[in-house]
Amino acid sequence: MEYINHSGFSFWHNYLCDLLDDYAINGEVNSARFIARTALGILCASLILLWFYLPKLFMTKSNNPKIMRLSGILSLIITLFLASGTHDLIIRIAGIIGVIAIITCLVELYKIRSYKLLSFGLFCMLVFFANYFIYETGYLRNILPVLQKFTFISFIVWFAILDIRLYKKQKLYNEKKTSL
């Protein structure tokens, strides 16, 4: 390990998942693991709520919203097991199921002509696939820790915008409902 003498988390060299490990790369007990695991739980719970309610943004009779909800929630439930010692397997399974959720969301965004949100979502997917390519091949692995954080932030911003759009739609629906 080239970072065996490193003390503390390095933005440039460590992955977010490193924060979940029992021991840091330098072999010391990871004192941040409880906070990181708690944060992962809160993040997953929050995103489970998003995927549960997100189909309400799309008024469609297709099965896409049901697939979106189920795959989004299932992906995040699986993600909760990242600290279980089976990191690579969890990433692959949750990633595949999460891609299904995102693709169904992108299809619905296209149907409602929400091209800006669709474009941002496609950008997030492109960056996600770049992460996955680097992760699986090792090509340009030195940029992966930073790219991972950029991808994470991009998705969080996209999810927040989707959440705001959903909130506004629900608020408008409730106002119309109470005015009748």
Residue range 102-157, pLDDT digits in tens: 999 999 999 999 999 999 999 999 999 999 999 999 999 999 999 999 999 999 99
Residue range 6-28, pLDDT digits in tens: 667 788 888 999 999 998 878 88
Residue range 80-104, pLDDT digits in tens: 999 998 999 999 999 999 999 999 9
Residue range 36-80, pLDDT digits in tens: 999 999 999 999 999 999 999 998 889 999 999 999 999 999 999
Exposure string for 84-108, b = 16+ CB within 10 A, e = fewer: eeebeebbebbbebbbbbbbbbbbb
Residue 2 has a pLDDT of 52
Residue 35 has a pLDDT of 96
Q: What share of the chain is helix, strand, coil (3-state, %, to 5)?
A: 75, 0, 25
